Structure 1
Amino acid sequence: MKILVSDDVSVKGVELLREHGYEVDVKTNLDETGLIECIGEYDGLVTRSMTHVTAKVIDAAKKLKVVGRAGVGVDSIDLRTATSRGIIVVNAPTANTVAATEHTCAMIMAITRHIPQAYNSLMAGEWHREKFTGIQLKNKTIGIIGVGRIGSRIAKRMQAMEMRTIGYDPYIPEERAKQLGVELVDLDTLLQTSDYITMHTPLTKETRGMIGAEEIAKMKDGVRVINVSRGAVLDIYALAEALKKGHVAGAAIDVFPKEPLTKDINPFIGMDNVVITPHLGASTVEAQIGVSVDVAEGVMAALNGEPVATAVNMAPVPQNVYNVIHPYFELMERMGILGVYLSEGPMNEIQVEYTGELAETETRLLTTAVLKGALNPILQDSVNFVNAPEVAKSRHISVKEIKSHDKGYFLDAVTVRIKTAKGEHSLVGMLFNKSEAKIVQIDEYRVDFTPEGYLLLAPHIDQPNMIGQISTILGQAHINIAGMQVGRMTKTGTNIMAIAVQDDIPNDIMLKLRSINGILDMKLIHCDIH
């Protein structure tokens, strides 16, 4: 079999492939046209971030069975098209964990003791010790936004520096946080009490811009801000203004909303209380070797037809089972997404109950689809059909699968129950005509809507003008309503509105909606699959 390596990766991974008998060609700097011209002869493709594996490239890849990304992010690969073609996409999600952790620690020390500034001063022939007086980390509080794969390691290292570690992660169980020595708090508390704030979240619709001018204003004076996660999580222009005013004492930034960070878009030019680096979080010899070797092993496993723990799209299933469960995959994943949005606090248990034809077949992969939907929006790591059960287990989430032959009110339905310390929420979903996904019940509310795009759920008192008030506020904000459905709760006097909107709803508009007299709750859910 032939494998194309289209980006610069460590030679160790290339050597490993060749040692196992694969013919490997290294052709870098290929644009889409160049890749289309040559991809047809290859069984495997290994890339980094420079190669864009588009739908056109995949269409031209007549023999391609696997795409390996030597790194974490797979934004440059058209996953949907690859999956529809049966092409497995694998990545290397853990090899750069230590590198990113250590770079974060280095950035923390650099802004604490003014190391780059002192170096530049000395190299300029100056001797100004008084200008570079720092502070100690001991007894300071570091707030970690995202206590996952990297955030948990930051906590361990900062605890060794005798820092108090607090964290904001709505989806990590209290038990896990205690094991890590991290005190879980809400985001406002973290912002208001931390001396240092470091971000380690994935980039999702929910985390994009999560730290902006409003959040920075809540931070205590003299705070220091670090971002070695995803550039678009932080508004660097709002941060630059806070640095200029002295509200933020220092910042260390490795990732940016737009890369490369050129001079014309760099808000930190001329500022001496900032340390910036050109996305070096994973740039260590060990990490580059690690991602190269890891992706090579994943590519070989995929080509050998073996399970791939780092696959980011669907793993193969027996054809007879696939024929039954295939129509349900998107419904199941979207139910997981809905469930995690509805849940309040860390999930303790996810229960999936099958009735009808699904109760007669193998459904573990469908349950995994629910886990994938529930976990992907909240984790920095990529959650896929292979690793979702292990990710749930590592977060102490109990997963239960129930087969019921009591069909009850709905035939061939799936019920997903998500339990937290604060209670339980349930969803019932089904397919109409074996193809159209529908949610037909949320908790005690009977509904009928398609789980896609942006969905506004509004339980409310059954009284006149509720629809009118919500429609008016959305209309005045130029937010188009794509569909609306009202369902009656089993409890007399209350209804629920499910409103499909075409765009995200800003926080100020959500506040207006929640202030309507008679609204019991108001949740905006992004139902699309991550």
Structure 2
Amino acid sequence: MFRVLISDPLSEDGIRPLLDAEDVEAVMDPSLSHEELLEAVSKSHALIVRSQTQVTREVIEHAPELKVIGRAGVGVDNIDLDAATENGVVVVNAPDGNTISTAEHTMAMLMSLARNIPQAYHQLKQKKWERKKFVGVELKDKTIGIVGFGRIGMEVAQRAKGHRMKVIAYDPFLNKEKADKAGVNHGTLQEVLQQADFLTVHTPLIEATKHLIDKEAIQLMKPGARILNCARGGIIEEDALYDAIKSGKIAGAALDVFEEEPAIDHPLLDLEEVIATPHLGASTVEAQENVATDVSFDVMELLRGGSVKNPVNMPSVSSEMMDKLFPYFQLSERLGAFLSRVVNGTLERVSVYYSGELLDVDTMPLTRIAVKGILQRHIGNRVNDVNAFKTASDKGIVINEQKSTSTKGFTNLVTVEIETDQEKRSIAGTLLNGLGARIVQLDQYSIDVVPEGHLVVIHHTDQPGAIGHVGSLLATHHVNIATMQVGRTNVGGEAVMVLTVDKEVEGDCHEQLTEIDDIKQVQCLTLS
């Protein structure tokens, strides 16, 4: 008999599969104190939570029989993934259950924003009849710009088309072919901002999307445009949005999420042009039932020895295999992360090549990690070692793995190649005895770079003075160079310069580097 502890409130209909299973004892108690949780979980084979229960290392280490933790919802911020993985506990979640709910809430907010429904209702409640004050706009023939074209973004697009809106979408994984198939227009982020009458965001909140819609982005928008956020607080820079509404640049905003919640006293709520809800995107009976059902099935499948639909952390690997693979984990992930930050265009294919002492090893876990390193630039921690391939497949990205006897003089070599709709780029790395991971080739250039910290990649013409100009400019901005590597194929031709520096290069420093004679491209990245 498997004992499943449910420590947060869940839909009873959603956990019906557990309640009806003859080999499962399901115990739901959302009122447990921390001490009671430790006692209860110590006798459980599975733990199911939402966002209330904090599944810390202490909780996991108090559960010697625990095999799986289920999160009934998207994300696993309240679960210590490292502790779960170290203790052999599989973590699963339910990323699909709230798609329809969130898309429908976005449309409800869109209609309410266009027609001033909450404001008008509030006036009526105060016994005021002011029709002229609440003249709205039609959605027909307006352009909705969708930033983030995953499951929810696509559902919003279909509903917007039903209102006869024009749809333009931006997503790092969206190209024209995929957009055409979805029946929407494809644009760059700048094009979406410039064309949108209504802008809605549907991205995860990661480093690349934090304050994605900031003051500069808002300045690109049409006067009188409107902005919606039913995704994650922090994607929109709230101070910039406040100022834009006050100035009249933005006609209004509809917000379901805020950077800090609860947002009872937020200045945006003082503006009558703003409508808001308290993070209700997934708050429907159906969504709560769906996420509970999805996670219940995954928990039962794993307990019974089956495969799960939505795993989050790394699957188990034999100790013998782990001994061989472990030294390459960081190298593979950082090769992918590095290359993803310097490649241009929409990702279409990833190829990973292995040679040398890796020929006789199952390298699939390394390929997963390399793909994870690539995808995390745009998706963040929602992509992991387990779901990397599925995530890539969902985005239409082809994954290829090959082995070769050609080591180019190294004992081992891992090469990652990315093809986009604009270019093909590659990077190769190795493990040097006693010295750790090294990048030894970038495209056709031989280099020797440690893949960590702040890096600056400069493509330039091989001419006297190029290195000196770069060093002098960085010095004026108090940026210290730790190492510098230059690769070239022929004297006076194209070359690449890779620097490791002590702090991030950004703003004026980055712009001034691009203005140096013979420098063609400057790309800055951080690998941690």
| TM-score bin, normalised by smaller chain | over 0.9
Once residues 262 and 16 of structure 2 are traced to their aligned partners in structure 1, the CA distance between those partners, rounded to angstroms, is 31
Say if 1:173 and 1:396, in contact at 8 Å, map to a contact too: no
Cα deviation code 1:169-198 (max 9, x no counterpart): 132232211111222212222112210111
SS of the residue corresponding to residue 267 of structure 2 reads coil
- Distance of 2:199 and 2:232 partners within structure 1: 14
Task: For residue 462 of structure 1, report the CA deviation from its aligned partner.
Answer: 4.4
User: Alpha carbons of 1:409 and 1:300: their partners in 2 closer, same or farther (altered >3 Å)?
Assistant: same
The residue identity in structure 2 corresponding to 1:44 is A
Deviates more, 1:18-27 or 1:42-51: 18-27
Residue identity opposite 1:240 in structure 2? Y
Structure 2 counterpart of 1:326: 326
TM-score by length of 2: 0.92
Counterpart residue type for residue 82 of structure 2? R
TM-score, scaled to structure 1: 0.92
- Aligned-pair Cα RMSD in Å: 2.4
Question: CA–CA distance in 1 between the matches of 2:497 and 2:188?
Answer: 29
**Aligned-residue offset at 1:297:** 1.5
SS at match of 2:210: coil
Q: Secondary structure at the match of 1:348?
A: strand
* Percent identity over paired residues: 40
Question: Cα deviations across residues 79-116 of structure 1 (Å, max 9, x unaligned)?
Answer: 22322222211110000011111111111001001111
- Name which of structure 1's ranges 136-145 and 13-22 shifts more when overlaid on structure 2: 13-22
Separation (CA, whole Å) in 2 of partners of 1:32 and 1:523: 47
What is the 5 A alignment of 1:293-308? Answer: 293-308=293-308
Question: Which segments of 5 or more consecutive residues in structure 1 lack a partner in the other structure?
Answer: none
Out of 149, 157, 160, the position equivalent to 1:158 is: 160
Q: How does 1:29-428 map to 2 (within 5 A)?
A: 35-36=37-38, 38-263=40-265, 266-379=266-379, 382-428=382-428
Alpha-carbon shift at residue 356 of structure 1 (Å): 1.4
Counterpart of 1:19 in structure 2: which amino acid? D
State the Cα distance separating 1:296 from its structure 2 match: 1.4
Q: CA 1:428–1:307 in 2, change beyond 3 Å: closer, same or farther?
A: same
What's 1:486 paired with? 485
Following superposition, the deviation at residue 478 of structure 1 comes to 5.9
Distance 1:320 1:307, change over 3 A: farther
Query: Is the 2:69–2:92 contact (alpha carbons within 8 Å) kept by the matching residues of 1?
Result: yes
How many angstroms apart in 2 are the aligned matches of 1:133 and 1:106? 18
What's the CA shift string for 1:185-237, capped at 9, x where partnerless? Answer: 12222112210111011111111111111111121100000011111111112
Structure 1 partner of 2:18: 17
Per-residue deviation at 1:260? 1.1
Shift of 1:476: 5.6
**Distance (whole Å) between structure 1 residues aligned to residue 498 and residue 36 of structure 2:** 47
Aligned-pair CA distance for 1:6 = 2.2
1:153 is paired with a residue whose SS is: helix
Q: Distance in 1 between matches of 2:430 and 2:364?
A: 17
Which whole-Å CA distance do the structure 2 matches of 1:461 and 1:32 have between them?
62
SS of residue matched to 1:360: coil
User: Any conservation in 1 of the 2:449–2:485 contact (CA below 8 Å)?
Assistant: no
- The residue identity in structure 2 corresponding to 1:16 is P
Q: C-alpha offsets along residues 410-444 of structure 1, whole Å, 9 cap, x if unaligned?
A: 33211111112222100102223499332211112
| SS of equivalent to 2:353 | strand
Cα displacement (A) at 1:37: 5.2
Give 1:486's aligned amino acid.
Q
Q: Which moved more, 1:420-429 or 1:32-41?
A: 32-41
Q: Which residue of 1 aligns with 2:8?
A: 7
Cα deviation digits, residues 129-182 of structure 1 (max 9, x gap): 111111111111111111111111111111111111111213223221111122
Mapped partners of 1:374, 1:441: distance in 2: 17
Secondary structure at the aligned position of 1:353 is classed as strand
Rate the CA distance shift 1:251–1:525 in 2: closer, same or farther, 3 A: same
Displacement of 1:503: 5.1
Structure 2 gaps, min length 5 = none
Give the distance between the partners of 2:476 and 2:209, measured in 1 at CA.
26
Alpha-carbon distance, 1:396 to partner: 2.7
Q: Would the aligned equivalents of 2:346 and 2:422 in 1 still touch at CA under 8 Å? A: no
Conservation of the 8 A alpha-carbon contact between 1:113 and 1:134: yes
3-state SS of 1:441 partner: strand
Q: Note the C-alpha offset of 1:473.
A: 5.1
- Taking the TM superposition and a 5 Å limit, the aligned residue runs for 1:434-473 are 436-462=436-462, 466=466, 470=470
Counterpart AA for 2:329: F
What is the CA-CA distance between 1:324 and the residue it aligns to?
2.7
SS at match of 1:359: coil
Cα 1:308–1:252 change in 2 (3 A) is: same
Secondary structure (helix, strand or coil) at the match of 1:11 reads coil
Q: 1:389, CA displacement in angstroms?
A: 2.6
Task: Give the Cα separation in 2 of the matches to 1:478 and 1:75.
Answer: 37
Shift of 1:348: 1.9
Change in 2 beyond 3 A, CA 1:4/1:450: farther
8 A contact 1:441–1:447 mirrored in 2: yes
Distance 2:454 2:31 in 1: 38
Contact 2:17-2:296 within 8 A present in 1 as well: yes
CA distance in 2 between counterparts of 1:76 and 1:453 reads 28
Q: CA deviation at 1:295?
A: 1.2
Distance 1:340 1:103 in 2: 33
The more displaced of 514-523 and 424-433 is 514-523
Q: How many equivalent pairs are there? A: 525
Question: Mean alpha-carbon deviation: is it higher for 149-158 or for 440-449?
Answer: 440-449
C-alpha distance in structure 1 between counterparts of 2:92 and 2:74, whole Å: 9
Distance 1:455 1:33 in 2: 46
Query: Residues 470 and 253 of structure 1: is their aligned pair in 2 closer, same or farther, counting only changes over 3 Å?
Result: farther
CA distance in 2, matches of 1:474, 1:283: 51
The alignment partner of 2:293 has SS state of helix
Comparing 362-371 with 252-261, greater Cα deviation is found at 362-371
Distance 1:70 1:295 in 2: 6
Quote the offset at 1:14 in angstroms.
Answer: 3.7
Partner-residue secondary structure (3-state), 2:369? helix
**What is the rounded CA distance, in whole Å, between the counterparts of 1:382 and 1:6 in structure 2?**
23
Shift of 1:471: 5.2
What is the CA–CA distance in structure 2 between the aligned matches of 1:471 and 1:75, rounded to whole Å? 41
